[in-house]
Amino acid sequence: MADLNKITCFEDFHRLARRRMPRMFYDYAASGSWTESTLRANEQDLQEWLFRQRVAVDIEHRSIRTRMLGEDVTMPVAIAPTGLTGMMHANGEMHGAMAAKKFGIPFTLSTMSICSIEDVAQHTQEPFWFQLYVMRDKTFMENLIRRAQRANCSALVVTLDLQVMGQRHRDIKNGLSAPPKPTLGNLLNLATKPHWCWQMAQTQKRTFRNIVGHAQGVTDVSSLAAWTAEQFDPRLNWDDVKRIKELWGGKLVLKGVMEPEDARMAAESGADALVVSNHGGRQLDGAPSSIKVLPDIVSAVGKDIEVWMDGGIRSGQDVLRAVALGAKGTLIGRSFLYSLGAAGEAGVTKCLQMLAKELDLTMAFCGHNDINKVDASILRRA
């Protein structure tokens, strides 16, 4: 068991997760598409924004509490939807949801999760958000929405930027598939991960449980790969968003917006929030970073719809940068996955504690007491 008292930053979790997780699943979490230039830009461009230190300001009573979708949250952070989470750590989605619940921030379950909607609902007994991919199989997709309604999910997050799948070289080289290919290299690598293997042996949740047994013709992992490969719908359009909103009937978030024109369409669709996101650099390589386009999108629609951001958030300082540039919330993906892979629920809790402390202290150094009153005046360009 890792000594979490010695974990002080994101990179500590990153190194530990890399040692503990099988290579194919670590690479799945870590990789971007093609040259990974957008993946790198997401982190690097955040560092172009420097903080203005202020002194002799009363900062005794501070608060980083805010609201996202009308829900009170401990800080402007939610856990992003991430596929294959239950392969980073056994029952990973359940661990992540519990850590988020106890800390007081939202957790988002992916369509491509290992634990199902019902698994997480039964385990947490609390509302969470559910992320929907638009599939060709509309009956399956509609049933997913109804299952999320029955599980009392409090928001639906529709991902718009996966109509086609970006190519991630590492996944191809590792033979990542469903089920994973038992190559000699993968088997040898698994032999070096006894703790992970022991954990996985203790659970029956080792496939995409939102899909297997629910999609027509998908009864086991052997039939899953072919179904998944042809299901992401390249015909997705704004009429589909309208139909999903009507069917869902609750809070709706649109994820994957990178241009003001699309942001205006998102606002006009009646969605409650949008996420400025390039899918963590996993789709269109060569696209700008999320933080680079955030100000333009806030300027275009920030008065009409909640604007959030994901991509490159590795610290509480990154959260503050995004909030200062107009984001009403942020989502964390890799920060969550690495802390989960390193130490399970306790690791995720530690990660959230670190983010909150960094956010609070940095806000204080900038002379602010209330996260809801922070603006771009705390920043300068490098």
Q: Which are the catalytic amino acids?
A: 279
Residue 375: Cβ within 10 Å count: 11
Q: Which residue has the tokens 């994901």?
A: 310
CA 204/CA 270 separation, integer angstroms: 40
**Three-class DSSP category at 334:** helix
- Short-list 266, 268, 237, 238, CA closest to 254: 266
- Whether cis (ω within 30° of 0) applies to the bond prior to 179 is yes
Beta-bridged to residue 50, according to DSSP, are 380
* 125 backbone dihedrals φ, ψ, rounded to 5°: 60, 25
Which DSSP string do the residues of 93-131 spell out, in sequence order?
HHHHHHHHHHHT--BEE-TT-SS-HHHHHHHH-S--EEE
CA 95/CA 333 separation, integer angstroms: 14
Two structure tokens written together for 45:
């461009």
Residues 6 or more apart in contact with residue 375 via CB below 8 angstroms: 324
CA 231/CA 38 separation, integer angstroms: 26
Two structure tokens written together for 216:
């027509």
